[in-house]
């Protein structure tokens, strides 16, 4: 079985090896037969196709594995990019391996790698987080768990949710964290917007994005193990409040100094203030 990467936008971003493989196999399992059919027609490939997507995997995987065991050569593709990377394919790959079928990669376009290469953000270590949850509470929880992640983080997002997700990231990671938003990568209207999370929120609140989105966020600064202990959060907040900063502004400063999430510091400060009031 061949796991074949296809273009993520520009139709010319397909390798000669991918074209040859798709023409030589006996069957192509694809996410959308119509979209794949257009790509195959462009390259004059007449190999039969069969649908293989999230909602039919349960019965399609055994069928495909049986055909592989019978000696057929099958290629798997998705609508764009590399199969199994935030796309269908993982279950089929695992089932094929468990059935002692040889699985071969035919590499090519990947939005994750393409975005990293042009974001201007460290690439020596990174983590791919896919799509964050769409619901506010679940999204906030997921991002809060990543606030101390030292590696560069890469996310996918839908254009309609971009501004809200960037705002949630600014709350979890701090508004001053550097990031890049890559829109419509490899397509006609490709653009990359760089800045702090706070700046990106303001930009996309007034200029909505369109198309496919990749967000690249700088990892958290490495803090000494004793860094948090070196700063008394409540004492620092008190000093900043006495200096005239509002609670939200003071929380943002303390979050920056300690590496904590701004929301976490702010909520702790509110709780501490309520506790002090109840003691009185």
Give the integer Cα–Cα distance in Å for 58 and 248: 49
Residue 3, CA distances (Å) to 35, 52, 127, 150, 205 in order:
17, 13, 22, 31, 39
% of the chain exceeding 70 in pLDDT? 93
Residue pair 104/2 in contact (Cβ under 8 Å)? The answer is yes
Q: Is residue 222 part of a domain?
A: no
Domain boundary, last residue among 71, 106, 141: 106
Look at residue 223 in the predicted model and tell me its pLDDT. Answer: 54
pLDDT of 180? 98
Looking at the structure, do residues 87 and 144 belong to the same domain, yes or no?
Answer: no
Positions in the chain whose pLDDT score sits under 70? 222-230, 259, 274-280
59 occurs within a structural domain: yes
134-176 tens-digit pLDDT: 999 999 999 999 999 999 999 999 999 999 999 999 999 999 9
| Paired tokens of 232 | 């008394």
List alpha helices for 70-217, DSSP H.
90-98, 111-119, 136-144, 162-173, 197-206
CA 121, distance to chain mean position in Å, is 15
The alpha carbon torsion through 138, 144, 150, 156 (nearest 10 deg) reads: 30
Q: Among residues 67, 83, 106, which one ends one of the domains?
A: 106
For residue 115, what are its two tokens?
């975005």
- Say if residue 99 is in the same domain as residue 154: no
Domain containing 178 equals 111-217
Residues 101 and 132 in one domain: no
Three-state DSSP at 202 gives: helix
Among candidate residues 111, 92, 17, 2, the one with its CA nearest the CA of residue 51: 92
Q: Do both 194 and 130 map to the same domain?
A: yes
Q: What would the two tokens of residue 98 be?
A: 């468990």
What are 173-212's pLDDT values in tens digits?
999 999 999 999 999 999 999 999 999 999 999 999 999 9
pLDDT at 163: 96
Distances 62 to 29, 95, 123, 184, 195 between C-alpha atoms, Å: 13, 8, 38, 35, 47
Q: With both helix axes pointing from N to C terminus, report the angle between 262-279 and 247-258 in degrees, rounded to the nearest 10.
A: 120
Is-contact 227 169, C-beta < 8 A? Answer: no
Q: Could you identify the residue written with the tokens 């069957």?
A: 27
98 and 118 belong to one structural domain: no
Task: Give the pTM.
Answer: 0.78
Q: How far apart are CA 74 and CA 65, in angstroms?
A: 9
Going from the C-alpha of 220 to that of each of 77, 108, 132, 153, the distances in angstroms are: 35, 30, 18, 10
Domain count, the chain: 3
**Do 21 and 100 belong to one domain?**
yes
Between the alpha carbon of residue 200 and those of residues 165, 170, 192, 228, the distances in Å are 11, 9, 11, 28
Task: Using DSSP, state whether 162 is helix, strand or coil.
Answer: helix
């Amino acid at each position: 079985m061949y796991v074949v990467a296809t273009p993520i936008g520009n139709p010319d971003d397909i390798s000669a090896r991918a074209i040859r493989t798709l023409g030589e196999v006996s069957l192509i399992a694809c996410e959308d037969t119509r979209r794949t059919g257009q790509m195959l027609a462009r390259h004059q490939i007449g190999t039969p196709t069969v649908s293989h997507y999230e909602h039919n995997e349960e019965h399609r995987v055994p069928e495909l594995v049986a055909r592989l065991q019978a000696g057929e050569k099958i290629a798997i593709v998705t609508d764009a990019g590399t199969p199994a990377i935030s796309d269908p394919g993982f279950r089929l790959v695992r089932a094929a391996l468990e059935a002692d079928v040889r699985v071969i990669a035919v590499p090519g376009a990947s939005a994750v790698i393409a975005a990293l290469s042009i974001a201007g953000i460290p690439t020596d270590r990174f983590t791919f987080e896919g799509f964050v949850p769409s619901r506010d509470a679940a999204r906030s929880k997921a991002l809060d768990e990543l606030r101390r992640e030292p590696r560069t983080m890469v996310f996918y997002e839908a254009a309609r949710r971009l501004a809200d997700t960037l705002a949630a990231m600014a709350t979890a990671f701090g508004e001053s964290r550097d990031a890049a938003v890559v829109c419509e990568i490899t397509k006609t209207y490709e653009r990359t917007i760089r800045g702090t999370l706070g700046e990106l929120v303001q930009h996309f609140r007034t200029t909505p994005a369109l198309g496919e989105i990749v967000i690249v966020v700088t990892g958290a600064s490495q803090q000494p193990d004793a860094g948090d202990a070196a700063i008394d959060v409540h004492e620092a907040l008190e000093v900043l409040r006495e200096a005239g900063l509002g609670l939200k502004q003071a929380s943002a400063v303390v979050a920056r100094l300690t590496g904590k999430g701004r929301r976490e510091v702010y909520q702790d400060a509110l709780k501490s203030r309520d506790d002090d009031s109840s003691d009185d």
